[in-house]
Structure 1
Amino acid sequence: MNSTLVTIARPGDDPAIDLVYATVTGRADRWFLFDAAGRAPLRALRAESCLVEPECGDTVLVAAGGANAISYVIAVLARAQRAGASLVLPGDVALHTDEGALRVEAASVDLNAAHSLKLQAPDITMTGTRGELKFQRVEAAIQQLHAGFGTISTVAQQVTSTVGRLIQRARDSVRWIDNDDETRAGRVRMQVEERLHVSARHATILAEGQVKIDADKIDLG
């Protein structure tokens, strides 16, 4: 692309300020650099109204000031690379696009919807150091769940669960139940490798059929 700066100031306008076409050739901190031609400036700042961040090779519109005045890039006219762009907003906020992808850079982002907010994608990834969720009602439908936790602490007034098959394995298990603990099952089988100890103030075993106790030695009393 031709990098020559072309002055487009109207005849009779104040010659101290011109509007010129320019091609960005470099950047030094906040300054954008151009090739010198005629009265065009060698460098310029991006104006607050120019939200698209200029890049090397872009054709821009520059408001060229006088010898001691600051020149500003007021618009990006044509992009050298059309695949992506950066929309820079005041307050250190930027929107970046790259081949259909959108990335938001900000200190914090708040989404406030009066009625509903929907997120839909084949893959959703959320990463953070701390998370907090507060809902009055939650409904979830998950086909498969794989989770790894360090420590879990839950407090609930009532828990009801219906499971087709439940398999649990723990190194140690301790339960405290203040009132009743009732189990209803078609069959119950307990297998203890070492020792089974049952302690109660009163114990009752009722069977409609047969009660069998089999051991090498049985102590009663």
Structure 2
Amino acid sequence: MQNTLITMSRPGADHAVGMLYATVTGRADKWFFLSSPEMAVERALRADSCLIEPECGDTVLVCHGGTQSCFVLAVLARATPEQATLTLPGAVQLQTSQGQLQVKAEQLELQGRQRVTMVGAQVDVTGIRGELRFRELSASAEQAQARFGSLTSVAQNITSTVGRLVQKARDSFRWTENLEETRAGRVRMLVKDRFHMKAAHTTLLADGQVKIDGEKIDLG
């Protein structure tokens, strides 16, 4: 690409405004160092209209009107076409690299008037604190694994239907204020050490045989 210098007159100005092609050779903070055959500009700032962040080796269009007012207006050709950074006001950046898109901002909010859909072979969500609020929630999965340091749940009603339920705990405590009822085809309880049951009133009813077996039985 041939470097061309275009000069425009500006009324009342000491220096004429010019535009030229240049190559980015480096960067220090907000300043971009440039190289061009005319050597009219050595460094420039990125203009607000230039949304793509210039990188080393990029060919850019520069506007200059003296040493104090030089701006990169646009990125004309990328040294690495497969990646780019789109910089928006408010320190917001959109970065693309090898088909990946990354959004950087202090806060990110997505709003859909009708629906928001996320689809992917793998979806990862990571954060220090999370909160979900729904009026209605439906979830389905072929397999689910959950690990918690501590878990607290509060619900008015819970109904669960499972084919098989297996629970294992080191200690288990349960308080029921009113009625607790168990209906089962068979009930079997195995206690390794001691079994203690206490009630104000106890009633045992059997349609058939009642059997009590032990080395020693104390009644009363």
Q: Quote the offset at 1:119 in angstroms.
A: 0.5
Q: Report the counterpart of residue 16 of structure 2 in structure 1.
A: 16
2: distance between equivalents of 1:146 and 1:39? Answer: 63
2: distance between equivalents of 1:170 and 1:36? Answer: 73
Alignment of 1:15-34 (within 5 A): 16-34=16-34
Q: Which moved more, 1:37-46 or 1:164-173?
A: 37-46
Q: Is structure 2 residue 214 aligned with structure 1 residue 215?
A: yes
2: distance between equivalents of 1:57 and 1:215? Answer: 91
The runs of at least 4 consecutive aligned structure 1 residues that moved more than 4 Å come to none
2: distance between equivalents of 1:210 and 1:38? Answer: 109
Alignment of 1:173-192 (within 5 A): 173-192=172-191
Measured at CA, do residues 5 and 42 of structure 1 come closer, stay the same or move farther in structure 2, by a change above 3 Å? farther
1: distance between equivalents of 2:212 and 2:39? Answer: 109
Alignment of 1:20-169 (within 5 A): 20-38=20-38, 40-66=40-66, 68-169=67-168
Post-superposition CA distance 1:78-116 (Å, at most 9, x none): 111001000001111100000110011110101111111
Q: Quote the offset at 1:62 in angstroms.
A: 0.4
2: distance between equivalents of 1:135 and 1:126? Answer: 18
Q: Report the counterpart of residue 6 of structure 1 in structure 2.
A: 4
Instruction: Note if contact 2:26-2:56 (Cα within 8 Å) is conserved in structure 1.
Output: yes
Give the structure-2-normalised TM-score.
Answer: 0.94
Q: Which moved more, 1:108-117 or 1:26-35?
A: 26-35
Measured at CA, do residues 39 and 201 of structure 1 come closer, stay the same or move farther in structure 2, by a change above 3 Å? closer
Which stretches in structure 2 are left out of the alignment for 5+ residues? none
Q: Quote the offset at 1:5 in angstroms.
A: 4.4
Cα RMSD, aligned residues only: 1.5
Measured at CA, do residues 108 and 94 of structure 1 come closer, stay the same or move farther in structure 2, by a change above 3 Å? same
1: distance between equivalents of 2:38 and 2:141? Answer: 67
Instruction: Note if contact 2:7-2:19 (Cα within 8 Å) is conserved in structure 1.
Output: yes
Instruction: Note if contact 1:30-1:45 (Cα within 8 Å) is conserved in structure 2.
Output: yes
Aligned length: 216
2: distance between equivalents of 1:99 and 1:190? Answer: 61
Instruction: Note if contact 1:64-1:70 (Cα within 8 Å) is conserved in structure 2.
Output: yes
Q: Which moved more, 1:34-43 or 1:16-25?
A: 34-43
Post-superposition CA distance 1:7-51 (Å, at most 9, x none): 1336xx456111101111111221111125336211110000000
Amino acid at match of 2:4: V
Instruction: Note if contact 1:52-1:86 (Cα within 8 Å) is conserved in structure 2.
Output: yes
2: distance between equivalents of 1:49 and 1:214? Answer: 91
2: distance between equivalents of 1:126 and 1:37? Answer: 50
Amino acid at match of 1:6: T
Identity %: 52
Q: Quote the offset at 1:6 in angstroms.
A: 2.8
